[in-house]
Amino acid sequence: MSSKPDRNSASNLKHLINGKYGLALTYWTLYLVGAGAFFVSGSLAVADDAWTVYVVLLGLMLAWTFALLTGIKFAYRGEDPGKALGRIAMLFLLLNMTNALATLSFI
């Protein structure tokens, strides 16, 4: 058997980053990747009582969310981008708060 690199997964990642799967799928996938990384690393920081690291991770998660919202703003093709952006921002905010509370449950 030959060990060829999996071109399909590399192609899927390239399509995701380029927005070929649509705005909603692209940004929800990117959000969930960031939220998952924050949950794991934030939970480890809380379990180790590394509060400085946890606060830095919160800041990074907030910056990630703003980066995604900025990307949505520029990629949105519709009549009222502000209305859609406001709804998505509220969902991201609620999910970030839920995620932060879940990481704090490891105290």
pLDDT along the chain (107 residues), means of 10: 58 74 82 93 93 95 91 81 84 91 85
Residue 73 near residue 81 (C-beta atoms within 8 A): yes
C-alpha 101, offset from chain centre: 16
Take residue 106 and report the two structure tokens written for it. Answer: 């490891």
Task: Enumerate the H helices of 7-50 as residue ranges.
Answer: 7-17, 23-47
pTM score, whole prediction? 0.76
> What pLDDT, on a 0 to 100 scale, did the predictor assign at position 4?
54
Q: What are phi and psi of 95, to 5 degrees?
A: -70, -40
Q: Which amino acid type is present at position 96?
A: N
> What pLDDT, on a 0 to 100 scale, did the predictor assign at position 1?
47
